[in-house]
């Protein structure tokens, strides 16, 4: 998204003049990022060196973009050798980067003593906190935040690839659930 935005204009001052309609046409920029960019645009000021920076900015962005592509390709090749990564890659929407993050952090499912131990580690379930007449739950304290972030990204992409998942998501949102609780 950032690369697409930075490369959407020839000079930095032109980036400041992009309207919301144009921002929303940039791949990866949704309403949330468009409003963040507009907030940045209101505060932006450029010096005379902005023209030189603009030329260098495009070269650096393109160079970084190519490096990222090479790394993603390498990650995909390494993931093919992992048993858990192969399984995760078979799920629609789970790409090589999130899959590799999950596989690398989880390692093997056998390391968890019980079947129900993996979900709290991923941050995908709550713990029972009921006592007497009180019924409740609490978030686990020992969640691997890297795995949880990768899982959330992969699940959101999965939702967009699978129509049944998208319908379920929309149903839960209509029930009042928040995005990360559906």
pLDDT string in tens for the chain (182-residue length): 677 787 777 777 788 888 888 888 888 888 888 888 899 888 887 777 766 666 677 778 788 889 988 988 888 888 778 888 888 889 998 888 888 888 888 888 888 888 788 888 888 888 888 888 888 888 888 888 888 888 888 989 999 899 999 999 999 999 988 877 76
State the pLDDT at residue 163: 92
The strand ranges marked E within the chain are 127-128, 137-138
State the pLDDT at residue 182: 66
CB 103 within 8 A of CB 88: yes
How many Å from the N-terminal Cα to the C-terminal Cα in the chain? Answer: 25
pTM over 0.85: no
- Residue 27, phi-psi category: left (phi > 0), alpha (psi -120 to 50), beta (remainder): beta
Dihedral Cα 81, 87, 90, 91, nearest 10 deg: -140
State the pLDDT at residue 168: 92
- Token representation of residue 135: 């019924």
Distances in whole angstroms, Cα of residue 166 to Cα of each of 159, 162, 169: 5, 6, 5
């Amino acid at each position: 998204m950032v690369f697409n935005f930075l490369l959407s204009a020839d000079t930095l001052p032109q980036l400041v003049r992009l309207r919301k309609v144009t921002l929303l046409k940039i791949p990866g920029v949704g309403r949330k990022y468009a409003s963040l960019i507009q907030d940045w645009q209101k505060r932006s000021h450029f010096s005379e060196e902005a023209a030189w920076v603009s030329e260098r900015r495009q070269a650096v962005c393109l160079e970084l973009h190519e490096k990222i592509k090479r790394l993603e390709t390498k990650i995909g090749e390494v993931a093919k050798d992992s048993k858990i990564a192969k399984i995760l890659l078979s799920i629609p929407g789970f790409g090589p980067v999130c899959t590799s993050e999950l596989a690398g952090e989880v390692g093997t499912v056998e390391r968890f003593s019980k079947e129900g131990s993996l979900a709290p580690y991923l941050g995908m379930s709550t713990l029972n906190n009921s006592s007497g007449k009180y019924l409740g739950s609490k978030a686990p304290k020992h969640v691997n935040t890297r795995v949880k972030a990768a899982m959330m990204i992969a699940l959101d992409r999965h939702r967009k690839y699978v129509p049944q998942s998208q319908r379920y998501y929309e149903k839960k949102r209509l029930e009042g659930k928040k995005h990360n609780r559906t």
